[in-house]
Structure 1
């Protein structure tokens, strides 16, 4: 689904990414971890075409997308849940969900309003409420639902549970688990090692704009203290 090879990018005269490599296969849940300021969000923005690549390659579904516009990347079947949620605050929950809804990949099991409401019952209760009046956790649910309504082959979640109350965080993890069980390919940024260890198939850690560690669950068990050192404050 996604192959990133030696990716480099930055802002203005400042280079942030020097050598980022990772892969997400069909139906896999893969994590991207690291401390704040190490380049995780810049990696996502570069993959999505929101920040221009200065080197390396991004390949999505077998097609090279390095340098493509965000619209082109999205049309290939990539759904982004951005850091900070970024819902449309003056639109209702329902309007947020249908605003960008599409099924360009012609998926037979396409996402609908009803399926989103089943996944997030609170969204049904808040359907006619302005998104800007929702709690942070509810906005995150809405952001995930909005991304799913584009029927993506690959779902990217940037800081999936950051700043959320424990009960909401648990609900988000449960939903991600259900999506993974249903075969949704996922690239996930978060820091909760205990949850990510059981939820994801593989893990990547970046440090100062470089991929410095990668491995599966057994590798994470073996290198747990080392990984904590990379991820902890």
Structure 2
């Protein structure tokens, strides 16, 4: 299986406060991986480095064999990375449809294996967005905003979808709907990085897991291995 994304020995800091200490992980084409750990352990910082929102002091990040470490956030997104950010961050004064159109981008050359994302396809995945396509972002519920954030990222026609706190604060029925959508995206071959606290759902969805503590990976393995090592989840995430 082809390696799509690779991060090696990345160091990063907020001013004088070091946040990543030799962070490294990889994602293969069509694979779903997770970044697990308690809050403040470097998961979101890793995503910021990946998208060029925080400079990398040292180390290497490559996507499709191309280095990302000196690229702008805009340039990185154009390569085929789609971000569903923590807190959703939809445009509150734009309608649902305007939010989706605002980020739309044609697939890159060579992405023919992945089906085109357009308004019609996003609305098939999220019928509620079609029902509310004229509503402004601020008029949506938290679950609808998360659907919109995912739809907006898909409209960039990504090769890799990155979701930071995918289901945080959502009602159980909405969470189930989001997990079902991510599973369907996986079936269609879209690679994903997922940050979330719902280990049970992640065990069903993901191929591999990277557990982080203090800015580095302290454990990695597949879902079967993690399921058989509950002490890892307890130690590094504080849940059973």
Supply the distance in 1 between the matched residues of 2:107 and 2:123 (Cα, whole angstroms): 22
- 1:123: which partner in 2? 129
Supply the distance in 2 between the matched residues of 1:162 and 1:74 (Cα, whole angstroms): 24
- CA shift for structure 1 position 104: 4.0
**1:90 aligned to 2:96?**
no
Contact 2:83 2:153 in 1 (8 A): yes
- 2:78: which partner in 1? 75
Which range is displaced more, 8-17 or 153-162?
8-17
- 1:150: which partner in 2? 156
Supply the distance in 2 between the matched residues of 1:192 and 1:55 (Cα, whole angstroms): 32
Contact 1:75 1:104 in 2 (8 A): no
Supply the distance in 2 between the matched residues of 1:177 and 1:73 (Cα, whole angstroms): 25
State how many pairs are aligned: 233
- CA shift for structure 1 position 8: 1.2
- 1:11: which partner in 2? 14
Which of 37, 41, 45 aligns to 2:40? It is 37
* SS of corresponding position for 1:111: coil
- CA shift for structure 1 position 221: 2.1
Deviations 1:145-198 (A, max 9, x none): 000000000000000001111111000000000000000000000111111111
Contact 2:20 2:46 in 1 (8 A): yes
After TM superposition, the runs of 4+ consecutive aligned structure 1 residues lying more than 4 A away are: none
* SS of corresponding position for 2:57: strand
- CA shift for structure 1 position 19: 1.7
Which of 58, 62, 68 aligns to 1:59? It is 62
- 2:236: which partner in 1? 230
Supply the distance in 1 between the matched residues of 2:61 and 2:138 (Cα, whole angstroms): 34
**Structure 2 portions without partners, runs of 5+:** none
What TM-score, normalized by structure 2, do the two folds share? 0.95
- CA shift for structure 1 position 33: 0.6
- 1:163: which partner in 2? 169
- CA shift for structure 1 position 229: 1.9
Which of 99, 114, 123 aligns to 2:120? It is 114
Supply the distance in 1 between the matched residues of 2:127 and 2:198 (Cα, whole angstroms): 25
For 1:184-195, list aligned pairs within 5 A.
184-195=190-201
Contact 2:107 2:116 in 1 (8 A): no
